[in-house]
Each structure stands twice: as structure tokens, then as C-alpha cells.
Amino acid sequence: MPDTAVEFSSCRTRIVIILSIGLFIIFTGMLSLIPMLPAISNDLNISETMLGVIMGSFMVCMAFPQIPIGVLSDRYGRRPFITGGILIFSFGLLFFGEARSESQLLIARSLSGFGAAMFFSTAYTIVNDIYSIRERGKGMGIISMTVGLGTVCGYILGGVVGGIYGWRAVFICMFWASLIISGSTLLLIETSPRTQEHDFGIKKMVSATLVIFRDKTIVLASIVSMLCGIAVVGASYTFSFFASDIVSPVEMGFIFIPYAITSSLGASITGFLSDRIGRKKPLTVMTVLGGSALIIFACVTPGPLMMAIIFGFVGLSLGPVVTLTTTILADVVVKKDVRILGSSIGAFNMVRWTGTAIGPVIAGYIMQLAGTRLSFLVLALFILLSSVVSIFIRETLD
């Protein structure tokens, strides 16, 4: 197995900076939608259930291309998927800002989801290319922190700029910012371990990936990630409607900030910490805290400040869980066959993003039937179930 961590150590900082900028802009564009959901619903007369489907379409298009993207990036390199991904994402933002019907919103959001899938999966694979097992948690924590920062900016942008200038202005501005930033990806160097041997074609890569997903640790980590994806994204969707009766559209952008900060800093801290104490314990703690916070919302209606603080704990089941479960997967795969790292992360992300696609659909359906409190309670049970599953995961840090 080639020691890619040593090979790319001299240019690792530049690679991480470029990937971080791209992830920042993608998550800013992706999450800016949430504070504007009530405004879009009123403007285009779209039901809560249909908005959940539109939100979910992004996640579906993030989920299902993951395996082919991973396989192809293992076979032909990472760079084309990084540059192509952010360009496709950019034009999805433009089309969303110009959309005049729910069908146009659905198509635009799906396009952005496909572009984000290309970039996101490949970016996390590159990080695992360039970091060794003893530093892998740190590397994952760094880029996950930029995801959290993008989330913070997305909520502020959607709440403040969307509240003042309208939701269309947000997406048009994000298109130009994303298009400009896509130029930085041309500075990336190729980090693929180059699996273009004649005796290890695409069929063998897919077969090897399916075999490795029989590993109990990978299966359980995938389940934890999927359950948390359902719950956290569904809770974010529910929370925007739960809080809309209490705060203004501009304040909505700020009320999500503690959630984004805990997701971001939690990812970074647990990533560093997991390199020292292991992956399993922090994973269990983060899921218990996130699920408990949602139970509080199912029972009481706190004021705006406490609402923001409590929802901040839900973020611990987002960034830290993504960091820890992806790191667990990479630990196992790199030890067995580094040539299928991209395809394995792609398969893993497909499972996880399928969960995030289901989340807002479930939340929207429950809200229409029984209101936001029951939605929070059901989503809390998803997270707490993931806590139980995490107990049975084998520690992967040697």
C-alpha cells in the first residue's frame, strides 16, 4: 500500500485550504435555504410537505451518485470531480434563484445536490489520502470545521440577506461567489493512489467495496450516520417552522448560529480527541446529547435565546458524527485496501445522504399531521437509537 500520507505531507496545507474553501461555499449555499423556507412557501404557495420533498431532492442527488463517483475517482483521479462538482453546484444555485414554480425549484435543487455529491465525497477521500491513521481524526476535524463555518454563514446569509433583499437575491449572489471560488480548485494536485492497473478494473473495485461493507464495524458506523442524518436534517427543517412563530426572518438566521458553531467546533474537537482516546466514546456521547436536546423541544417552548442554545446541542449529532463515522470507515478501509478508499467513502456517503434525504420528508409529513412537537420527538428517537448502535462499534484506532 503506498504511503500517500508521507507523499503529500509537503503540500498538505494547500490541499486542505482549497478543499475547505470549496466545502465552505457549498454548505453556505446549501444551508442558506433553511431560514428562507417559510418565505419561499408563502411566495410560491408551496406546501410544507412539498418543500420537504424539494429539500430532500438535494440529499437524494447527493446520495445516489456517491458510489460511481467514488469508484471513478479511485480509477481516474480526484481532481476532475472536485472542479466539475463545484461548477455544477454553482449553476444549480443560479437556476434555483430564477425558479418560478415548485418543479423548477426541484430540478435546480437536484442539480446542486449532484454537484455537491461530486465535491463532497471526493474532498473527504482526499483528506484520507493525505493523512495517516494517527492524524486522520485531525484532518477530518479541520475540514468538518469549515463545513460548520459554512453552515453558520449560510444561516446568517439566508436569515439576514434573505430577510432584507429576498430569497432570490441570496441564491444569485451565491452563484457568483461559488463560480469565482471554483477557480481555486485548479490549483489542486492529484492525490489518488492510482488504481489503473490492468488487473484491478472497475468491476473488481466494486466487488471489493461490496465485500468490505460486510465488515460489522463499517455497517454499524453507516447505520449511526444514516440515523443521525435523518434526525438532524429533519430537525433543522422542523425548527425553521417551530421558531417562525416566535422570531422574525432576520432573527431566524441568528437563532441557528449556536447549532452551526457546536457542529463545527464539535467536529474539530472530537476529531482531534479521537486520535488520542479513540473514535467510539466521543461518538456515543455526541449522539446522546443531540437526542436529548430534541426531547426538550418536544416538551417545552423556550424563549428565543434558550431555543438557540438548546438547538445548539443538536449540532453535536451532525459535524462530530460525520467526522467520527467517516474516520472509522477510513481506518478500516485503509488497513485492508487503500485502492478502494474513494468507492468505500462513496458507498458510505450514499447511505448517510439517503438518511438526510428522508429526514425533511418525514418531518414535513409529521408536522402536517400532528405539529412540530411530535416531529421533534420522533426525530429524537432516531438519534437515541443511533446511540445504542454506536455502543456495538469496534474501536478502530490502534
State pLDDT tens for residues 83-104. Answer: 999 999 999 999 999 999 889 9
CATH number of 4-184+200-390: 1.20.1250.20
pLDDT at 397: 79
Q: How far apart are CA 127 and CA 56, in angstroms?
A: 27
| Burial annotation 265-304 (CB, 10 A radius, 16+ → b, else e) | bbbbbbbbbbbeebbbebbbebbbbbbbbbbbbbeeeeee
Domain ranges of the chain: 4-184+200-390
Residue corresponding to grid cell 488497513 = 335
Q: How far apart are CA 352 and CA 340, in angstroms?
A: 18
Would you tell me how many other CB atoms lie within 10 Å of the CB of residue 392?
12
pLDDT at 206: 62
The mean pLDDT value of the chain amounts to 84
Cell numbers linked to 154: 449560510
Give the 3-state secondary structure of residue 82: helix
pLDDT at 1: 42
Cell numbers linked to 291: 437526542
- Residue 16, phi-psi category: left (phi > 0), alpha (psi -120 to 50), beta (remainder): alpha
pLDDT at 305: 86
Per residue in 134-163, pLDDT (tens digit) is: 788 888 888 878 887 887 788 788 878 888
pLDDT at 226: 93
Closest CA to 1 of 292, 341, 242: 341
Is the confidence at residue 185, as pLDDT, over 90?
no
Position with higher pLDDT, 371 vs 244: 371
Per residue in 5-64, pLDDT (tens digit) is: 545 666 788 888 899 999 999 989 888 887 888 888 888 888 877 887 887 788 788 877
- List alpha helices for the chain, DSSP H: 4-7, 12-31, 37-44, 48-63, 66-76, 79-98, 102-130, 136-156, 162-165, 167-181, 202-212, 216-244, 249-255, 257-277, 280-299, 304-314, 319-336, 341-370, 372-390
pLDDT at 88: 95
Closest CA to 59 of 363, 361, 346, 357: 357
Cell numbers linked to 76: 481516474
Is the confidence at residue 251, as pLDDT, over 50?
yes
Q: How far apart are CA 44 and CA 356, in angstroms?
A: 24
Look up the pTM and report it.
Answer: 0.75
pLDDT at 198: 46
Q: How far apart are CA 194 and CA 163, in angstroms?
A: 48
Q: How far apart are CA 67 and CA 65, in angstroms?
A: 6
Per residue in 187-219, pLDDT (tens digit) is: 888 777 555 554 555 566 666 666 667 789 899
Would you tell me how many other CB atoms lie within 10 Å of the CB of residue 388?
13
Per residue in 313-342, pLDDT (tens digit) is: 999 998 899 889 999 998 888 888 777 777
* pLDDT range class, residue 2, cuts 50, 70, 90: very low
Roughly how many angstroms between the first and final C-alpha of the chain, as a whole number? 18
pLDDT at 67: 78
Are 361 and 52 in contact by the 8 Å Cβ rule? The answer is yes
pLDDT at 353: 78
pLDDT over 90 percentage in the chain:
30
